[in-house]
Amino acid sequence: MKNKLTESDVLSYQQNGFLIIEDFLSDSELADWRVAVTEAIAARNGIKIPGQNILVGMDDGINEDAEYFSKVFDQLINLWQTNEKVKKIMLDERLGAMAATLAGADEIRIWHDQALFKKPWANPTSWHLDTPFWSFSERNALSIWVALDDATAENGCLYFIPGSHKETTFENKGIGKNMDGVFSIYPQFAHQKPVASKIKAGSCSFHNGLTIHGAGANMTNGYRRAMTCAYMPGGSRFNGQQNVLPEAYFQSLKVGDLLNNDEQNPLIYKR
Ligand SMILES: O=C(O)CCC(=O)C(=O)O
Ligand SMILES: [Fe+2]
């Protein structure tokens, strides 16, 4: 794993709100990730989020059009809770250290992992922000996105609007049918050139959850598979949104409570 970040990597991330790392995984690591994720998805029987009765393709109450959204990608969340191999991969302290360095945080917890598979002919992923969906509101929260297949302009690679994380707020649009919804909130970025993250399988990107990003349609007859993880800085507090929290835990929380439950949000790095 190419887990050493240079000073210029960190500066570039801070400036742009994303960072691409080519050849992040070795061939054998990539093979392990593919096996682990495939096994975990098979064991899920279509359940999207543990602790919530939502199946893949069902209306999740977040995204406005369930049928359209079900054809954006297959989204399976918290596979680390389902499969020991995924757990070992996701709880790797080296990933936590990278996230901490980029976020400028002393501690990193897993918010949630997610497999995002675009099937052949999948819809595009409209431009959006991530952090506003989550149950805490921290400007430095971020995600890693690891390509399990080559991510190309043809099959739906990610795109980022550089520098947008510096100006966006927690106002967001759901991942809906209109690609451009988010630009009605942030018109200052509507004319800025996006960067396509065309990366080989085993390469990755990190992005700040407040960086405007999206992905293209899959115009090919093959899959575009990615494994991702969202990271929460230590000390984050509950903002009242359920997002991926299991019902019983969600019901037990009051706005302002520390999100420090090690079962739900394992601490994977501490400086
Ligand atoms: O893979 C995609 O199509 C979208 C990914 C995304 O929005 C994310 O990882 O935050
Ligand atoms: Fe996203």
What are the tens digits of pLDDT across the range 217-268? Answer: 999 999 999 999 999 999 999 999 999 999 999 999 999 999 999 999 999 9
Q: What is the CATH number of the domain that holds 68?
A: 2.60.120.620
Q: Which ligand is nearest to the CA of 159?
A: 1
Task: Please determine, for residue 39, whether its predicted confidence score (pLDDT) is greater than 80.
Answer: yes
Domain assignment present for residue 2? The answer is: no
Mean pLDDT of all residues belonging to the chain: 96
Q: Is residue 74 part of a domain?
A: yes
pLDDT interval class at 66 (50, 70, 90): confident
Q: Residue 180: inside a domain, yes or no? A: yes
Residue with tokens 């390469």: 203
Would the CB of 75 count as within 6 Å of ligand 1? no
CB atoms within 10 A of CB 22: 11
What pLDDT, on the 0 to 100 scale, is given for residue 51? 87
Position 100 in a domain: yes
Structurally, the chain folds into a number of domains equal to 1
Domain presence at residue 1: no
DSSP 3-state of 43: helix
pLDDT tens-digit profile of 122-140? Answer: 999 999 999 999 999 999 9
Give the pLDDT of residue 208. 98
- For ligand 2, the distance from its centroid to the CA atom of residue 5, given in whole angstroms, is 23
Query: What sign results for the dihedral spanned by CA atoms 76, 173, 13, 118?
Result: positive
Q: How confident is the model at residue 60 (pLDDT cuts 50, 70, 90)?
A: low
Mutation test of ligand 1: which of 213, 223, 229 has the most ligand atoms closer than 8 Å to its C-beta? 213
Q: Is the CB of 215 under 6 A from ligand 1?
A: yes
- pLDDT score recorded for residue 53: 80
Q: Taking residues 4-21, what's their average pLDDT?
A: 98
The answer to the question of residue 20 being in a domain is yes
CA of 210 to the centre of ligand 2 (A): 9
Q: Among 50-59, 112-121, 155-164, 213-222, whose mean pLDDT is lowest?
A: 50-59
Residue 153: pLDDT band (50, 70, 90) is very high
Cα separation values, 249 from 78, 188, 257, 259, Å: 15, 39, 12, 10
Q: Is 264 domain-assigned?
A: yes
pLDDT on residue 37: 98
Beta strands in 93-220 (DSSP E): 107-118, 125-128, 142-147, 158-160, 195-197, 204-208, 213-215
261 within 8 A of 249, measured Cβ to Cβ: yes
Please tell me the distance between residue 215's alpha carbon and the centre of ligand 1 in angstroms. Answer: 7
Ligand 1 close to Cβ of residue 82 (< 6 A): no
Which atom of ligand 1 is nearest the CA belonging to 175?
7
Is the CB of residue 37 below 6 angstroms from any atom belonging to ligand 1? no
Question: Which helix (H) or strand (E) covers residue 20, if one does?
Answer: strand 18-21
Out of 182, 228, 231, mutate this one to test ligand 1's pocket (max ligand atoms within 8 Å of CB): namely 228
User: The whole model's pTM is what?
Assistant: 0.97
The pLDDT assigned to 63 comes to 66
pLDDT of residue 234: 98
Query: So what's the pLDDT on residue 54?
Result: 84
Please state, for a pLDDT cut of 70, what percent of the chain lies above it: 98
Residue 60 domain boundaries: 7-270
- Judge whether 140 lies within some domain: yes
Q: What is the pLDDT of residue 221?
A: 98
> Is 130 touching ligand 1 by the criterion CB < 6 Å?
yes
pLDDT in tens, 161-203: 999 999 999 999 989 899 999 999 999 999 999 999 999 999 9
Tokens of 90: 């996701």
